[in-house]
C-alpha cells in the first residue's frame, strides 16, 4: 500500500533501522535516532543500487514521489540517476568556482598590490556594494550584457553616474581576466559602450590667484583644531604632494638634517624625492616632538593608523572654504603648478617632476626621482619664501625666479 502523511508522522524509531515502502522502489527509512530518509532502490546494468531522495519533513511525500519519478524517467532513457546526480553536483561546483565573485576576487588579489591602497579600497567597495549582490553568485560565462546593464542602471538611478562608469570599467576588467584564464569566452560589458550617459568630470577645486592664496595661508595659520591637522594644513601648500601621500607619510622616510623626504609614489609606483624648504623643516621638527616616536607623521585617533583621509578637507570647511568649489587638499597641487609657472617662471618640466608626474623628455628618458634635483631644491625654497611674502601681505607682482 502507498504511504500517507499520517503513517509517516506516526512512524516511531526502533532499536534498529527499518523501512516502510511507498511503491515503485521508493521507501522511507526510519533510523534509531528518529531520522526519516527517502530512498529509491533500482537496478542498472544488472546491479542493485540506492539513491537518496532527501529527508522528511524537509522533503515531503509529494516531493519524494516527484524525485522518484524523475529518476525513473532517467532510467527509462538508459541513464543511471546516481551517476547523473554526481555529474550535476560536479557541474554545480565548477559553476560556483567560476562565479563572477570568485573570478573578480582573484583578479583583484592579483592587481591590488600594484595599486595605491586608497584606489584598491574603492575598487573592491564598488564590486562588493554594486555588483556582487546581483551577479556575484552567477557563473561568469552565463552573464549577459543586459545583466550587467541592470547593475549599472541601479547605480545610475541613485545619481552616481561617475560610479556607474567605474563599475562598468571594473566589470570589463574582470571579464577580460576571465577570458585570459579560460572561464569566459567574451567581454559582454563591451556591448554596453554608450549605454550610460557621459560622466561629467571636474577638476579638484583650487585657488590660483595670489591674493586669494594669501588669504588662504593666513586662514590656515589660524586653524584652531589639533596640532597634527594644523601641521598637515600648513605643509600641504609647501609640499604640494598628493593628500594621501602626505597623511600616510612615515617618519622613517624623512631626513630633516638633509632636508629631504623620499617615498614611493602611490599612483606611479616610482620613487620620489621632495626637497624640504627651511619652512617645511621647521614645521616637521615641531611635529616630530609630538609624533616622532610613532610610525606615522600624522597619526589618527588610533595612533597605529594615519590621519583620516577626510581630515584636511574637513578642516578647510571649518575655516569656511567650500571644498567642492574653492579648495581641497588636492587643490594645493594645482595652486603650486599654476603659480610656479605663471608667477615664478619655473619651467614646466621641473614643476611636473616635482609633482611626481610621469614626464618623458625629447630623448624619451623615463621619470626618475632626482631629475632636475638642483632646480627642484631651489624651486621649493623659492616657493616657500614666496608663500611667506604673500601671507605677510607683500606685493604679489610676477617674479622671475629662474
- Check whether 23 has a pLDDT greater than 70: yes
**196-211 per-position pLDDT tens digit:** 988 765 567 788 888 8
User: Above pLDDT 70, what percent of the chain?
Assistant: 92
Residue 188 has a pLDDT of 94
Q: Which of 154, 262, 317, 357 is catalytic?
A: 357
- Check whether 357 has a pLDDT greater than 60: yes
40, burial (CB in 10 Å: exposed 0-12, middle 13-18, buried 19+): buried
Q: Specify the higher pLDDT residue, 73 or 114.
A: 73
User: What is the C-alpha to C-alpha distance for residues 247 and 332, in angstroms, rounded to an integer?
Assistant: 14
Residue 117 has a pLDDT of 79
Told to judge if 333 belongs to the known catalytic residues of this protein, a careful annotator would answer: yes
- Check whether 194 has a pLDDT greater than 60: yes
**DSSP string across 187-204:** -GGGGGTTSSPPP---PP
Averaged pLDDT, 229-246: 95
Averaged pLDDT, 327-343: 93
Contact 340, 351 (CB under 8 A): yes
Told to judge if 42 belongs to the known catalytic residues of this protein, a careful annotator would answer: no
Told to judge if 337 belongs to the known catalytic residues of this protein, a careful annotator would answer: no
Told to judge if 250 belongs to the known catalytic residues of this protein, a careful annotator would answer: no
Q: Specify the higher pLDDT residue, 206 or 302.
A: 302
- Check whether 402 has a pLDDT greater than 60: no
Number of H helices, E strands in the chain: 16, 7
User: What is the C-alpha to C-alpha distance for residues 372 and 355, in angstroms, rounded to an integer?
Assistant: 12
Residue 116 has a pLDDT of 72
Averaged pLDDT, 354-383: 78
Of 112-116, 177-181, 209-213, 243-247, the range with the lowest mean pLDDT is 112-116
Q: Specify the higher pLDDT residue, 169 or 204.
A: 169
Residue 325 has a pLDDT of 82
The residues near 64 (Cβ < 8 Å, ≥ 6 apart) are 22, 26, 28, 38, 53, 54, 56
Q: Which of 67, 247, 330, 376 is catalytic?
A: 330
Query: Sorting pLDDT into bands at 50, 70 and 90, what band is 364?
Result: very low
- Check whether 360 has a pLDDT greater than 90: no
**109-137 per-position pLDDT tens digit:** 998 887 777 788 899 999 999 999 999 98
pTM of the full predicted structure? 0.56
Averaged pLDDT, 297-322: 92
Q: Which of 67, 242, 247, 337 is catalytic?
A: 242
Contact 140, 127 (CB under 8 A): no
The residues near 278 (Cβ < 8 Å, ≥ 6 apart) are 259, 381, 384
Residue 265 has a pLDDT of 85
Averaged pLDDT, 319-334: 89
Q: Which of 263, 321, 367, 386 is catalytic?
A: 367
Told to judge if 378 belongs to the known catalytic residues of this protein, a careful annotator would answer: no
Told to judge if 110 belongs to the known catalytic residues of this protein, a careful annotator would answer: no
Domains, the chain, ordered by start = 5-92 (3.30.160.390), 100-192 (1.10.150.130), 210-392 (1.10.443.10)
Residue 399 has a pLDDT of 53
Query: Sorting pLDDT into bands at 50, 70 and 90, what band is 363?
Result: very low
- Check whether 384 has a pLDDT greater than 90: yes
Helix (H, G, I), strand (E, B) or coil at 26: strand
Of 168-182, 230-244, 259-273, 294-308, the range with the lowest mean pLDDT is 259-273
Residue 402 CA, distance from chain mean position:
43
**36-48 per-position pLDDT tens digit:** 999 999 999 889 9
Averaged pLDDT, 263-284: 90
Q: Which of 36, 68, 183, 333 is catalytic?
A: 333
- Check whether 397 has a pLDDT greater than 60: no
**47-65 per-position pLDDT tens digit:** 999 999 999 999 999 999 9
List residues bridging with 37 in a β-sheet: 29, 55
Amino acid at each position: 500500500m502507498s504511504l500517507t502523511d499520517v503513517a509517516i508522522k506516526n512512524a516511531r524509531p526502533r532499536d534498529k533501522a527499518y523501512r516502510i515502502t511507498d511503491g515503485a522502489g521508493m521507501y522511507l527509512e526510519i533510523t534509531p535516532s528518529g531520522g526519516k530518509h527517502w530512498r529509491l532502490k533500482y537496478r542498472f546494468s544488472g546491479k542493485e543500487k540506492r539513491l537518496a531522495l532527501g529527508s522528511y519533513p524537509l522533503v515531503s511525500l509529494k516531493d519524494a514521489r516527484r524525485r522518484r519519478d524523475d529518476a525513473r524517467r532517467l532510467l527509462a532513457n538508459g541513464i543511471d540517476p546516481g551517476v547523473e546526480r554526481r555529474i550535476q553536483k560536479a557541474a554545480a561546483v565548477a559553476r560556483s568556482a567560476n562565479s563572477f565573485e570568485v573570478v573578480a576576487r582573484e583578479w583583484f588579489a592579483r592587481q591590488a598590490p600594484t595599486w595605491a591602497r586608497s584606489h584598491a579600497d574603492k575598487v573592491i567597495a564598488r564590486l562588493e556594494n554594486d555588483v556582487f549582490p546581483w551577479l556575484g553568485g552567477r557563473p561568469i560565462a552565463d552573464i549577459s550584457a543586459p545583466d550587467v546593464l541592470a547593475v549599472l542602471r541601479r547605480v545610475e538611478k541613485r545619481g552616481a553616474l561617475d560610479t556607474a562608469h567605474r563599475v562598468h570599467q571594473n566589470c570589463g576588467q574582470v571579464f577580460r581576466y576571465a577570458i585570459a584564464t579560460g572561464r569566459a569566452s567574451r567581454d559582454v560589458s563591451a556591448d554596453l559602450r554608450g549605454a550610460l550617459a557621459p560622466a561629467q568630470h571636474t577638476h579638484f577645486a583650487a585657488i590660483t590667484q595670489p591674493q586669494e592664496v594669501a588669504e588662504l595661508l593666513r586662514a590656515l595659520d589660524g586653524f584652531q583644531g589639533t596640532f597634527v591637522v594644523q601641521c598637515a594644513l600648513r605643509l600641504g601648500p609647501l609640499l604640494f604632494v598628493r593628500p594621501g601621500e602626505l597623511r600616510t607619510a612615515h617618519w622613517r622616510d624623512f631626513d630633516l638634517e638633509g632636508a629631504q623626504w623620499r617615498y614611493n609614489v602611490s599612483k606611479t609606483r616610482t620613487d620620489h624625492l621632495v626637497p624640504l624648504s627651511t619652512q617645511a623643516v621647521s614645521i616637521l621638527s615641531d611635529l616630530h616632538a609630538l609624533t616622532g616616536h610613532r610610525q606615522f607623521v600624522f597619526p589618527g585617533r588610533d595612533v597605529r593608523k594615519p590621519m583620516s583621509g577626510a581630515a584636511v578637507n574637513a578642516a578647510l570647511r571649518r575655516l569656511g572654504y567650500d571644498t567642492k568649489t574653492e579648495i581641497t587638499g588636492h587643490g594645493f597641487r594645482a595652486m603650486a603648478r599654476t603659480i610656479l609657472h605663471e608667477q615664478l617662471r619655473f619651467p614646466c618640466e621641473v614643476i611636473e617632476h616635482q609633482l611626481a608626474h610621469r614626464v618623458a623628455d625629447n630623448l624619451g628618458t623615463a621619470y626618475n626621482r632626482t631629475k632636475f634635483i638642483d632646480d627642484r631644491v631651489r624651486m621649493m625654497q623659492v616657493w616657500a619664501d614666496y608663500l611667506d611674502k604673500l601671507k605677510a601681505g607683500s606685493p604679489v607682482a610676477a617674479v622671475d625666479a629662474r
